[in-house]
Amino acid sequence: MPEPPVPDAGTPGTGPRSVGATIELEALTKRYPGSALPAVESVTLDIRAGETVILVGPSGCGKSTLLKMINRLIEPTGGRIRIGGEDVTDMDPVRLRRTIGYAIQASGLFPHMTVAQNVALVPKMLRWPAARVRARVEEMLDLVGLDPAEFHGRYPRQLSGGQQQRVGVARALAADPPVLLMDEPFGAVDPITRDHLQDELIRLQRELHKTIVFVTHDFDEAIKIGDRIAVLRERSHIAQFDTPEAILTHPADDFVSGFVGAGAALKRLNLTRVRDIGISDCPTVSVDDPHQHIVDKLRSGGTDEVLLLDKRGSPYKWLRRGDLMRAGGSLARAGTPVHDTVTRDATLRDALEAVLTDSTGRVAVTGRRGAYEGVVDVETLMNSVHELLEADRLEAREAQADIEEQRAAQTHAEQEGFFGGEAKT
């Protein structure tokens, strides 16, 4: 159940936040002119307010067409769409689109506009007062983890792919729409950035409770982000619509199991997050600390390694006893740089990958704008993975036992029926 609306206390003048609305699709159909078969055929789907639903399925099964019918970028040829209970099938599409956020692959930003102008686009169209638009732009950039002072005046070409996607999400959310449609939004970025963007979307959604419909053909992405996943087959026929757990452990048919693919046990790691397991603390020092303080901390009992944080409080280097001395006291040369960090929303799979690529046997956990929050070590991770797989095995054994019991009961009943029938003749 979505939580109640979060009052927007942080930024005066931008008004209260709206939470998600229900989306009901009823027998929704799209037949492109000249095509023998519809691209989307009679899809009926009920999406709850505040949930994230993923549309996943093979290329050409109609995911994008289905998504774009929700904001009427593509006009349906049959069926109805209701948002928040209101029938929007015949509503003015331009007005409708101002109430629905839309984020696409490669961000879709206007290249000749600055970051701030891109984010301000829809609020301006809605004729928000200038001061409210300005406050909203700052708030949105902050929300997606970009420092407004730094990014405000840049043009899209001056941003990395991941930063562009963040601005794309900020723009989609700027007018505070109850519904956010995302069409493979992270399809064009590298895998590490993609992981981080997914984590941020999960964090955002925990704060905002929008109704999100998200298209991907990456099943791992679907299980990581979705509250529920609609696995689609040709013409967007729904093969299964359920939680990630249910789809992984009880796929409806061979098509779904084929889509889930091999390594379901490992995919299970995508379902548990760093926040679900123990985060521990580790001794930290800052680059701003006096040299002597750092030396004292390294010498103090019980510690042979401290985490050095940079000026912004982000993990920077691991320092061991002796590192400073070997580097002639220079912090710039001492220690091992932190290669990768995870957020609390990262999956255990991300965390495992990060731990395995780092030589320290642990990974630092960070919060908003990369600030240090704690660490996860390899032992905690391995124990959690072990427990998780053990629980899965147990569940699979129980499910198998249930099936065998049902089969035995059915055989028994059939035999009784058969012999009962025989006796009568």
Ligand X SMILES: Nc1ncnc2c1ncn2[C@@H]1O[C@H](COP(=O)(O)OP(=O)(O)OP(=O)(O)O)[C@@H](O)[C@H]1O
Give residues in contact with ligand X (CB under 6 A): 32, 35, 39, 59-65, 217
Helix (H, G, I), strand (E, B) or coil at 309: strand
Q: How far is the CB of 47 from ligand X (least distance, A)?
A: 18
Q: How far is the CB of 247 from ligand X (least distance, A)?
A: 18
Cα of 404 vs its chain's centroid, Å: 38
Cα of 338 vs its chain's centroid, Å: 24
- Residue 186 or 318: the one with the smaller Cβ distance to ligand X is 186
Structure tokens at 162: 């991941």
Q: How far is the CB of 67 from ligand X (least distance, A)?
A: 8
Q: How far is the CB of 250 from ligand X (least distance, A)?
A: 24
Number of separate helices (H) and strands (E) present in the chain: 15, 17
Contact 95, 86 (CB under 8 A): no
DSSP β-bridge partners for residue 240: 231
Contact 277, 380 (CB under 8 A): yes
Structure tokens at 381: 């991770």
- Residue 32 or 110: the one with the smaller Cβ distance to ligand X is 32
Q: How far is the CB of 69 from ligand X (least distance, A)?
A: 10
Q: How far is the CB of 215 from ligand X (least distance, A)?
A: 6
Closest CA to 167 of 155, 184, 183, 177: 155
- Residue 71 or 360: the one with the smaller Cβ distance to ligand X is 71
- Residue 23 or 230: the one with the smaller Cβ distance to ligand X is 230
Question: Sheet harboring 78-83: ordered strands across?
Answer: 40-47, 23-30, 78-83, 86-87
Query: What is the β-pairing status of strands 238-242 and 228-232?
Result: antiparallel
- Residue 214 or 372: the one with the smaller Cβ distance to ligand X is 214
- Residue 78 or 148: the one with the smaller Cβ distance to ligand X is 78
**What 3 state SS string does 47-71 have?**
ECCCCEEEEECCCCCCHHHHHHHHC
- Residue 35 or 292: the one with the smaller Cβ distance to ligand X is 35
Q: How far is the CB of 39 from ligand X (least distance, A)?
A: 3
